[in-house]
Amino acid sequence: MTALYIDADACPVKAEAEKVATRHKIKMFVVSNGGLRPSQNPFVEMVIVDDGPDVADIWIAERCGAGDVVVTGDIPLAARCVEAGARVLKHNGEALTAANIGNVLATRDLMTDLRAADPFRQGGGKGFTKADRSRFLEALERELRAAARG
């Protein structure tokens, strides 16, 4: 049975994911360290994990597998989920797969090194747009359908 796992800390698409999960009638696990408003939706289970580095990531990685969909912006978590056979989406709808996760991890590591080498480097990531939200909804719909087909 397909399940949807949301790495909920700093996730901008929780409400959209809940709508899609409800439409597909699949269980959605919203995993965080707390501070989120509980959902009354019977398809949504709020999972509050202990504080600490990567505790939510570990919870998700230990449970997801083939046929599941994971939504996360955390690249190391995404790599673990892909390895477990889950389908993984970033918040902007970009799919992370066995074919591209190695390059995404390498880019992440390179950017971490560049930031560490120049502590005065200003700027950050792009802002989250309506187009990103729309791409996410389309991608989640596609991935859930594919997961259901097996």
- The CATH number that applies at residue 140 is 3.40.50
Query: Is 15 exposed, middle or buried (CB count within 10 Å of its CB: 0-12, 13-18, 19+)?
Result: exposed
Q: Which residue has the higher pLDDT, 113 or 50?
A: 50
pLDDT higher than threshold 90 for residue 14: yes
Q: Which residue has the higher pLDDT, 66 or 10?
A: 66
- Is the pLDDT at 106 greater than 90? The verdict is no
Range of the domain at 95: 3-149
- State the pLDDT at residue 123: 60
Mean pLDDT of all residues in 45-72:
95
Give the lowest-confidence range in 6-10, 99-103, 110-114, 117-121: 110-114
Q: Residue 125's pLDDT band (boundaries 50, 70, 90)?
A: low
User: What's the number of domains the chain is made of?
Assistant: 1
Please answer whether residues 93 and 138 qualify as being in contact, where contact means their C-beta atoms are separated by less than 8 angstroms: yes
Compute the distance between CA of residue 87 and CA of residue 65 in angstroms, rounded to an integer.
8
Q: What is the pLDDT of residue 50?
A: 94
Mean pLDDT of 41-63: 95
pLDDT at 20: 96
What average pLDDT does this structure show over 34-52? 93
Q: Is the pLDDT of residue 121 over 90?
A: no
Better-scored residue on pLDDT, 136 or 120: 136
Average per-residue pLDDT for the chain: 90
The number of angstroms, rounded, from the C-alpha of 16 to the middle of its chain's C-alpha atoms is 13
Do the Cβ atoms of 85 and 69 come closer than 8 Å? no
